[in-house]
Amino acid sequence: MPRIMTIWLPRWPVQRRLGERPELRSVPVFVCRRERRGVMTIVAWAWALPPRARSTRGDGRSSAPRIPPGMSLAEGMAVLALAHGSRACHMAEVDSDDPAADRAALERLARQCRRFAPIVALEDAERPECIHLDVTGTAGFFGGEESLVRTAAWTLAAHGVHARVAIADTPGAAWAAAHHAERLGRQPAPPFRRPRRFVVVSPGEQATALAALPAAALRIEADVLAALGEVGIDSIGGALKLSRKSLAARFPPTLARRLSQFMGSRAEPLVPTFGEALPQAAHAYDVPVALREMSEDAIVAVLERLVGQCAAPLAARGEGITALQVRFGQYAGASRQGPCPPVVIDVGLYRPALAVRHVVELIRLRMARVRMPREIEGIAVEVVAAAPALCRQRTLFSGASPGASESAAAEVGMLFDRLGGRLGAKAVFEPQLVRDAQPEHAWVGMPPAGGASRTAASARPLAAPAERRPLWLLPRPVLLDVVAIVPAVADAGRPPVRFRHGGQVHDVATAYGPERIETAWWRGPIVRRDYYVVETHAGERLWIFRRLKDGGWFLHGVFA
Amino acid sequence: MVTGGLLEKLLKAGDFAGISPGWREGEAVATGFAPLDQLLPAGGVRRGSLVEWLAGAEASGAAALAAAVACRLAGHAERAAEAAATIIVVDRTGRFHPPAMLSWLERAGAGGRLAPRLVVARPAHEADELWAIDQALRCRGVAAVLAWPRSIHSTAMRRWQLAARASLAVGLFVRPLAARREPSWAEARVAVTARPGGSLAVRRLRLALAGGPWSGEAHLQERSVELGLDLARGCEAMLPPGAAAPSVHEQERIACRAS
C-alpha cells in the first residue's frame, strides 16, 4: 500500500510575503484581488504576531477574527477593527494577488522537500497550497512515519514556514488529515496545549479515522457540498455510507471520484509538474566509503564534477544557481538497525552563480558546520532554484569602467554567500530602518541582495534624531544601581546624579531628555519609558531610561 | 608592438583583465575631520590600510568616530567607482545598533546617488569573527570593515594588511586602550578619549597617536588634537569656544509614541 505525505501551507500567499519581508510579521497582511468595478476581494490574510486580544475563549486561546477568503476588503477591515480596533486597520498592509509568484515559490519549496522523498508534486488545484510526497518505504530513513511528519513540520518551521503535515494511504486522505490535524492529533495536557501540526493515519484506516471530518475535506466544490447538505450529510463518514450506485444519479460525478480517490480505489498519481526542470546530478560509490579515510580533495573533486554537471545546462540557457541542495547518502552500517536519512546541506546564493569553485567552496563551508556521516554511499546535487545570470564581457582595463564596478558587485555578492555559508544565513543581514519608536524594533535585518543597491530616496526616516540613538544597544536593559538622586526633584523623574555600573561609579555631569517612549496595548507588553542621554564627568555618554511603571533605572545603550 | 600610449596606460592602470598586481599604494582619503587628517601620517586614511582606534573607555566615542570615517570612505569609493560601496560591520557582541549609522549613510547617498550599503555580520565565535574580517578585507567593492576584535594575533593582522592592500578596503578596528602594548600592522593607531562638554548633537573627543606599527611602546605621543563629532550627521562639528562648563540636567522634553 502506498503512503502519501501531504504538507499543507495555510494561507500560502501571505506566508510567501512574510518570508520575503519579515517586517510584515507585526502587522495584518491582506492579499487581495481586484474584481470588476474595482472591488477588492480578499484572497488570504494573516497577522503573524497579533497583539494579545482582550477577549479570550474559555480554553485560554485568543479569538482571532474570522475573515474568510472571498470577503471584500472593506468588510474584512471592519471585522479586523471590531476585534483589534481601528488602529489595526491603519497598520494593515494590503498587497495585490500574484498567483504565478505564489506557485513559483511553492515549487521552490517543493524542490527543497525532496530531502524527505524522491517523488514530490504540487496539489492539483488552481491555487495550490499543498505539497504531496510519496513516502512509500522512505519513512524508515527518518525513524518511522511519526518521526518523519514531526521532522518535516519542524524543518519547515525552522525556515519560517508554518505547515501542517499528515501521512495516509492516499493523497485525498492525507489532504483531509493535514487540513484537520488539530482535530485529529492527540491533545496534550492543558499546560502544554498547543495545536498539533502533524498526524499519521494508520494504513487502511482512513475511513474510520477520518469519518468525523467535515465533507468539505473531500476536496469537493461548494455546489456538491450544498447538495450533500440538503440530504443531511455533513461528514466524510456520512458520504462514505452512501451507495455508490446512487451517487452518480443524485450528485455530480465529482463526489464519486473524490470518494474513490479518498479510499484508494481510484488511482491519483503524483505528477511532478514543476514549471521548468532544474538539473541534478548524483554520484554513487560502489561500496560505502568512510569520510575519514577520504581526502578533502577527493570529495571536492566529486562535488566539482556534480556541480559542473548541474551548471552546464543552466549556463546554456543563461541562468545561474541561486539555491542548491546536496544530499550525502548515509550508510548505517551492519550494527545499526534500519536505514539512516541522508545528510542534507542547503546552500543559498545571494546572486545567481555559475562559478563551480565558488559553489563548491560554499558547500565546503557548510560541511564544516554539519555533523557528517561516518560512511557515505553516494552524493547527490540538485539545483533547487535558478535565476537569469548577469554575464558581461570582460574589459581589458579595469579601473573605473562599468565592468569593474560590476565585477566588484559580483565579488560582494560572493562575499555574502561565503559569510552566510559559514556564519549562517541569519547572521548576515542588511539593516533597514522601520518607523518604530521602540528602540528594539527600530530596524530589521534583511537578507542582503547580491548586487542590488538601494537609493537614498527608498530608505525610511529614523523615528528619532540620530544623535539620540547610541551605536551600541544592550540586548537587555541592565538595572542600574542608583547611588544618589536629586532629592528635591526625585519625584519628577530626573536622572540620577550618581550610579554604579560595571564595577564603576559614574557621576552624571549633563543629561538630555527625557524622551518618552510608549507603546500601545495592541503591540503586546506595554513599554513606558523616559530615556535620557547622560554624559559623565569623564565625558562618557550612556543611554539610560526610567521605567515609568516602578521608577527603576536601566542602562540600555552606550554611545561607544 | 606596444605603442607608447598603451604602455603608459597599462603601467598607470596597474590592474588589467582582472589580474591584480597584489600590492599597490592606495591614495589617502580625507576623513572629513581636519584635526584627524593632521594627526594621521598620510594626511588621511590610506585606502588598503588598517587603522586601530584605541578606546579609552567603552563609551568614549571611538566606535562612532570610526563609523563616521567608514561612511566617509564609502562615500568616496562610491564616487570613484560610480557604484555603491559597501561597509561590512563584524559584530560578535550583537550590540551594534545601526539606526544612527544608517542615517549618516543616507546623507552620504543624498542627491540621487546610490547610498553606500551597510551589511552586518554577526559571528558566534572568535574564530569566525577573525575569518569574517579576513574575507571582507579581501573583497573588492568593500570600502571599509568595522570590527571590535578583542585580541589579534600579529600573523592574522599581517594577513589582513596584505588582503586590504590587494582589495583597497580599509580595516577599522576599535580596541581597548590596553591593546596599545601589542605590536600591530596598522598604519595608524589613534587613541580616543571622551571629553566632557559639547552638546547633545556634538561630542568632544581627544585624539592622540598611540605609536605606529611595531612600536611595542605604551607611550602616547605628545601630538594630540581635539575635535567635535556631529552625531546627527556623522561629520566634523565646530567646537564651542571655551567649552563652557556643562549644566546638570539640561531639560528637553521630547515625547514619542509608538504606533
* Partners of residue B110 in chain A, C-beta under 8 Å: 456
A27 confidence band (pLDDT: 50, 70, 90): confident
Average pLDDT, chain B: 80
B172 confidence band (pLDDT: 50, 70, 90): very high
Asked whether residue B137 carries a pLDDT value surpassing 90, the answer given is yes
Asked whether residue A139 is assigned to any structural domain, the reply reads: no
What is the pLDDT, as a whole number, of residue A404?
A: 57
Residues B167/B138, Cβ–Cβ less than 8 Å: yes
The architecture in CATH of the region B29-237 reads 3-Layer(aba) Sandwich (3.40)
Average pLDDT, chain A: 83
Q: pLDDT digit string (tens) for B5-47?
A: 666 665 555 544 444 433 345 688 899 899 999 888 888 999 9
For residues A386 and A486, state if they share a domain.
Answer: no
Taking residues B165-173, what's their average pLDDT? 93
Asked whether residue B94 carries a pLDDT value surpassing 70, the answer given is yes
Which of A407, A518, A540 lies nearest to residue B57, judging by beta carbons? Answer: A540
Last residue in a domain, options A392, A421, A456: A392
Could you tell me the residue range of the domain that residue A494 belongs to? 466-558
Within 8 A by CB and 6+ apart from A37, the residues are none
What is the pLDDT, as a whole number, of residue A63?
A: 63
Asked whether residue B1 carries a pLDDT value surpassing 60, the answer given is no
Alpha carbon distances (Å) from B174 to B65, B74, B162, B213 = 10, 18, 19, 16
Asked whether residue A548 is assigned to any structural domain, the reply reads: yes
What is the pLDDT, as a whole number, of residue B3?
A: 57
Taking residues A532-539, what's their average pLDDT? 92
Taking residues A108-115, what's their average pLDDT? 86
B9 in contact with A, Cβ within 8 Å: yes
What is the pLDDT, as a whole number, of residue A291?
A: 85
Asked whether residue A238 is assigned to any structural domain, the reply reads: no
Q: pLDDT digit string (tens) for A53-73?
A: 544 444 445 567 888 888 989
Asked whether residue A245 is assigned to any structural domain, the reply reads: no
Which of A398, A414, A511 lies nearest to residue B249, judging by beta carbons? Answer: A511
Last residue in a domain, options A360, A392, A424: A392
Q: pLDDT digit string (tens) for A500-531?
A: 888 888 999 989 978 998 886 666 678 899 99
Q: Convert A12-43 to b/e letters by CB count within 10 Å (16 or more is b).
A: bbbbbbbeeeebbebebbbbbbeeeeeebbbb
Asked whether residue A354 is assigned to any structural domain, the reply reads: yes
* Partners of residue A497 in chain B, C-beta under 8 Å: 248
Asked whether residue A171 carries a pLDDT value surpassing 70, the answer given is yes
- The domain limits of chain B are 29-237
Question: Domain tally for chain A?
Answer: 3
Alpha carbon distances (Å) from A512 to A285, A464, A516, A547, B184 = 70, 14, 12, 17, 39
Residues A228/A215, Cβ–Cβ less than 8 Å: yes
Interface contact flag, B120 A431, Cβ < 8 Å: yes
Taking residues A201-228, what's their average pLDDT? 89
* Partners of residue B229 in chain A, C-beta under 8 Å: none
Taking residues A236-255, what's their average pLDDT? 83
Q: Of A105-109, A195-199, A439-443, give the lowest mean pLDDT range.
A: A195-199
What is the pLDDT, as a whole number, of residue A311?
A: 92
The CATH number given to whatever domain includes residue A290 is 3.30.1490.100
Last residue in a domain, options A46, A70, A91: A91
Asked whether residue A426 is assigned to any structural domain, the reply reads: no
What is the pLDDT, as a whole number, of residue B163?
A: 93
What is the pLDDT, as a whole number, of residue B18?
A: 44
For residues A379 and A284, state if they share a domain.
Answer: yes
Taking residues A530-538, what's their average pLDDT? 92
For residues A472 and A380, state if they share a domain.
Answer: no
Measured in angstroms, the CA of B124 and the nearest CA of chain A are apart by: 7
* Partners of residue B67 in chain A, C-beta under 8 Å: 471
Interface contact flag, B142 A415, Cβ < 8 Å: yes
Asked whether residue A339 is assigned to any structural domain, the reply reads: yes
What is the pLDDT, as a whole number, of residue A58?
A: 45
